[in-house]
């Protein structure tokens, strides 16, 4: 997932109070998942404002081409 995709997923998780219920996921777990997605979105946004080209390149290497290293769709 990319940073914007993580942000969007966090919004979806928080917008619908019953989002996880059909999947057997409680509200607390849904909020925790939203927090993880929001944190990853923040990390991605922060990486875009890095002070040096070396920092930007390091983030790009760690994040991979699709935004998250080792992510599976």
Written as six digits, the tokens of 20 are 């996880």
Is the pLDDT at 52 greater than 90, yes or no? no
pLDDT tens for each residue of 25-51: 788 888 899 999 999 999 888 877 777
CA distance 69 to 18: 30
Residue 46, C-beta contacts closer than 8 angstroms, at least 6 positions apart = none
C-alpha 40, offset from chain centre: 4
Greatest C-alpha distance within the chain: 45
What residues does each domain of the chain span?
A: 3-63
Burial of 26 (0-12, 13-18, 19+ CB in 10 A): exposed
């Amino acid at each position: 997932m990319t940073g914007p995709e993580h942000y969007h997923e966090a919004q979806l998780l928080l917008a619908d109070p019953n989002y996880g219920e059909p999947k057997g996921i409680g509200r607390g777990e849904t909020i925790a998942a939203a927090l993880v997605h929001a944190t990853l979105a923040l990390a991605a946004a922060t990486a875009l404002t890095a002070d040096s080209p070396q920092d930007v390149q390091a983030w790009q290497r760690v994040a991979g081409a699709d935004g998250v290293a080792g992510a599976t769709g």
